[in-house]
A = this chain, B = another copy of it.
Amino acid sequence: MDAPWPAPGTPLTELMTPLPVIDEARLAGNIARVQDYMTGIGRNFRPHIKTHKLPELAAAQVEAGAVGINCQKVTEAEVFAEAGFDDILITYNILGPARLARLRALNDRIAALSVTADNAVTVRGLADTFGPDRPLTVLVECDTSAGRCGVQTAGDAVALAQEIARAEGLRFGGLMTYPPSGGAAKVEAFLSETLTLLSQAGLPCPTVSIGGTPDLFLSDQVPSATEHRAGTYIYNDRAMVRAGHVGPEHCAMHILATVVSRPTETRAIVDAGSKALTSDLLGFQDHGLIEEYPDARIVALSEEHGTVDLSAVEGPGPQVGEMVRVVPNHTCVVTNLFDRMVFHDGARVTRVVDVAARGKVW
């Protein structure tokens, strides 16, 4: 039986919970504000679709001025190619015959596909898959101190760039990094050193792509970059407020939840558990902020229950049946849990959209 998704016009107060909802005005404001900043500093902007997974919102981002989109997986990129997007960067080491075959089909289909690589095994797999008739653009991923993927030195970056450039079916597209928050100086140092070495080696570097929402408005502190990627900024969340990226008035996503139990004077149970909020803490000690009761703390999650400590709340606190709005710690992972996303104008549902790329992990 289909889940009962609400029709446009339905008052928010009548929605079944738990349910993430998106404020249209805040969403539009976030898209415009960030694009304006990027345009202002003369930087290409390439939104990461991981946060919304919705072609409709990516279209709004491109309409606002984005140069293209950023996906993390081949199957995500397929969804967006199907929806008409023709400039897609997949920031991932693509490995294995099945995935490489799909990547090749995707490259045959859209105007500008690019991927990243940080190791020779990945580059060899790509080189064996693509030919000069329809080459693939490959950027070198650099670890500029975030400690995830990426080559470790400027010299290693250049060596891998040369391997890419030597492959008949590949084009060296430039450098890409997932930068650490607060690390602009280190990022710039790594990138500028690499650019110098690339220049000495006679290798043109068309794109230098940095990213992240927390330091988005500090993108100009990395002058070597030509492009910025970011996902979370479109909805924002508790972690972005803590990081100082925005104030709470720019959080477009809330999870609507209902108080289902008040076992004690200091304990409430809401129907938003890890299947609605996810267990992502991102450094917080609790699982989201309840807007109506900011002194309440969601101290534990089961799959369908959130346990709320009301010790610090003045007055009687929320009652059984009461609906509350929770700002999640991390918006992107919430999106991946729901088949559709519900948008609203503050009072009523405006649209309900299929989360087209939900669950695309390959």
Whether B78 pairs with A305 at a CB distance below 8 angstroms is no
| Nearest CB of B to A90, in Å | 11
Q: A96-B16, A263-B118, A278-B278 are in contact. Are A360 and B3 (CB under 8 A)?
A: yes
**A226 CB–B CB distance under 8 Å:** no
Whether A93 pairs with B361 at a CB distance below 8 angstroms is no
A102 and B4 CA atoms in complex are apart in Å by: 10
| Nearest CB of B to A124, in Å | 10
Considering the complex, which residues of chain A in the window 106-124 have a beta carbon less than 8 Å from any beta carbon of chain B?
Answer: 118-119, 121-122
A279 and B102 CA atoms in complex are apart in Å by: 29
| Nearest CB of B to A32, in Å | 26
Q: Which residues of B contact A73 (CB under 8 A)?
A: 304
Q: Which residues of B contact A17 (CB under 8 A)?
A: 362
| Nearest CB of B to A65, in Å | 26
Whether A75 pairs with B3 at a CB distance below 8 angstroms is yes
**A95 CB–B CB distance under 8 Å:** yes
Q: A3-B75, A79-B1, A98-B16 are in contact. Are A148 and B338 (CB under 8 A)?
A: no
Whether B304 pairs with A72 at a CB distance below 8 angstroms is yes
Whether A362 pairs with B16 at a CB distance below 8 angstroms is yes
Q: Which residues of B contact A119 (CB under 8 A)?
A: 261-262, 320
How big is the A interface, by class?
Answer: 35 or more
A274 and B102 CA atoms in complex are apart in Å by: 24
Q: Which residues of B contact A339 (CB under 8 A)?
A: 359
Complex interface: stretch among A21-29, A54-62, A149-157: A149-157
CB < 8 Å neighbour of A336 from B3, B150, B275: B275
**A302 CB–B CB distance under 8 Å:** yes
Whether B321 pairs with A121 at a CB distance below 8 angstroms is yes
A16 and B304 CA atoms in complex are apart in Å by: 30
Q: Which residues of B contact A149 (CB under 8 A)?
A: 260-261, 263, 269, 305
Q: A73-B304, A75-B3 are in contact. Are A279 and B95 (CB under 8 A)?
A: no
| Nearest CB of B to A187, in Å | 16
CB < 8 Å neighbour of A307 from B93, B147, B258, B300: B147
Q: Which residues of B contact A118 (CB under 8 A)?
A: 261, 263
Considering the complex, which residues of chain A in the window 235-271 have a beta carbon less than 8 Å from any beta carbon of chain B?
Answer: 258, 260-264, 267, 269
Q: A16-B96, A82-B1 are in contact. Are A361 and B275 (CB under 8 A)?
A: yes
Considering the complex, which residues of chain A in the window 333-362 have a beta carbon less than 8 Å from any beta carbon of chain B?
Answer: 333, 336-339, 359-362
Whether B276 pairs with A279 at a CB distance below 8 angstroms is no
| Nearest CB of B to A292, in Å | 17
| Nearest CB of B to A209, in Å | 17
Q: Which residues of B contact A193 (CB under 8 A)?
A: none
Q: A3-B360, A3-B362, A121-B321 are in contact. Are A263 and B72 (CB under 8 A)?
A: no
Whether A320 pairs with B95 at a CB distance below 8 angstroms is yes
Whether A78 pairs with B1 at a CB distance below 8 angstroms is yes
**A332 CB–B CB distance under 8 Å:** yes
**A14 CB–B CB distance under 8 Å:** yes
Interface of A with B (CB < 8 Å)?
Answer: 1, 3-4, 14, 16-19, 50, 72-73, 75, 78-79, 82, 92-93, 95-96, 98-99, 102, 118-119, 121-122, 125, 143, 147-152, 258, 260-264, 267, 269, 274-276, 278-281, 300, 302-305, 307, 319-321, 332-333, 336-339, 359-362
